[in-house]
Amino acid sequence: MIFNHSFMYTMTLSDFTNFSFFLLIYVFISKSSSNTTAVQGEISQNPHLHFYQVIYAATVVVIVVLSIVKSIIYTYFTLKASCKFHDMLFKKIIDSPMSFFDTTPTGRLLNTGDCQWCHFSKDQDEVETVLPLVMDSFLQCSLLVASTVVVISVIFPAMLVVGVIMAAFLAFTVFVFQRSIRHMKNLENISRSPWFSLTTSTLHGLSTIHAYSRRDSLIEQFNILTDINSKYLFMFNAGTRAFAFCLELMAATTTLFVALFVVLSSNDLISPSLKGLAISYSLQLTGMLQYVARLSIEVEARFDSAKRLQEYVTDCKSEAPRHVKETQIPQDWPSSGGITFVDYKMRYRENSPIVLNGIDFHIQPGEKLGIVGRTGSGKSSLGVALFRLVEPAAGTILIDGVDIMSIGLQDLRSKLSVIPQDPVLFVGTVRYNLDPFNKYTDEEIWAALEKSYMKDSISKLEGKLEAHVMENGENFSVGQRQLICMARALLRNSKVCWTL
């Protein structure tokens, strides 16, 4: 990114230097023509040469300083904006309810997909790395094109009529191509989501795929999705090239009119130096106008990512608040751990059937209770209800007489412990997985490991509590991961512990 910025600023500096050079040549010729003491054709003999050299050097120095200042300011604000977007977006995703993750495939989170809640990685990458570069190039080149048109129009006022006609043609061309190119880009983005989802699901289920010999069918499906994505990408590139051809035609027409004005106008009316300046700028306009128009469409397409992120931040629903100031709970709550379900009803998502219907029971403090039942009977749903991963449709849950719906999620979940059915370990150390907030001493951690029969295994590791834990705890067996999760629950010493 830094290299691209530097290259871009170098190109801008060169363009401004060329402009100052042509301006200096014009001033030089004008003053030389009025000075009879100068030798014709010898620049070194001009009496004002030192003055021109100082002006040119000062102009270059000012351009360099302004370019550096502009690049620093622009980079600072764009980086700050992208970081703010990322922080707000990350907080929204972390605070999203479990229904969001149940209904959103991983591929949509990794890519710009076909729903409004699927723009985390790809759109964020557009805002951070692509949009600042494209937008800066567009602004710079737009100013150069505008200055070129102004210079040509000042030299040849009749070019204003041609400029109006060319502007109307440009507006019509942009209107025709803009929607189609943007639609092709949107289709290309949408077609990438199933491709990502298939890739991630295939990687997660490699053992099952090999066991059932489904490799060929998945490869064929992958090729089909790749072809669909490539088709839309080719259509997008074809549309941009057709648009570029129309712009080249318009720029060539502008150059033709400028050349005609140069040839047909008298030297007495317009000096040869101004004619040379106009024709040189019209030649630059040929490629620059095409580039600016193409960048305008690309900037608009890239800004869709920022627009979707803003919609995500403003419209995404979050869980209940972490803390409720109006509700005061005792410091040692829960003191005993009694749990009461009162006519509790729950559904996982809106417009879905009730999975817990009118549950009423009471668990005594210190009581160990086992819940049995067939698959789908609602055993895990009771744990989901207790931790408020899903809000109730009706009824309430009381823990030591306190309604858990009236307190914040942080106040509730920090007092409960869970031993998940699928053990979860994070990348880090053994200590970090047991005590991520550094609340307990080494003696307390070793005591919890001893109770879970993992003390001997951890003691044999290099680094012991500082031993490295790989992603998903792959350097431990499934049983060891389960015991570490048990030690984590024992270390918290909660009055309420739920085991799935």
Name residues whose C-beta falls within 8 Å of residue 460's C-beta, 6 or more positions apart in sequence.
none
Same fold, 2-315 and 321-406: no
User: How is 243-267 classified by DSSP, letter by letter?
Assistant: HHHHHHHHHHHHHHHHHHHHHHS-T
Name the architecture of domain 415-500: 3-Layer(aba) Sandwich (3.40)
* CATH, range 2-315: 1.20.1560.10
Q: Can you give the pTM of this predicted structure?
A: 0.60
Question: For 39, which DSSP code?
Answer: P
d(CA 491, CA 479): 18
Place of tokens 């004619």: 275
Nearest to 498 by CA among 358, 374, 388: 388
* CA distances for 491 relative to 183, 430, 444, 447, angstroms: 55, 13, 7, 8
Question: From its phi and psi, is residue 493 left (phi > 0), alpha (psi between -120 and 50) or beta?
Answer: left
Residue 223 CB: number of other CB atoms within 10 A? 10
Q: Regarding the domain delimited by 321-406, which CATH topology (the fold level of the hierarchy) does it fall under?
A: Rossmann fold (3.40.50)
- Give me the tens of pLDDT residue by residue for the chain, a chain 500 residues long: 333 333 333 344 444 444 444 454 444 444 444 444 444 556 667 777 788 888 888 988 998 999 899 889 988 888 888 888 788 888 887 887 877 777 766 555 655 434 444 456 667 777 878 888 888 888 888 888 888 778 777 777 766 776 677 777 777 877 777 777 777 877 877 777 787 778 878 887 888 888 888 888 888 888 888 888 888 888 888 887 888 788 778 777 777 877 787 777 777 777 777 777 777 777 777 667 777 777 877 787 777 777 777 777 777 777 878 888 877 777 788 888 888 888 898 888 877 888 888 888 888 888 888 888 888 788 888 888 888 888 888 888 888 888 888 888 888 888 888 888 788 888 888 899 888 888 888 899 999 999 888 888 899 888 888 888 888 788 888 888 889 888 988 888 888 888 76
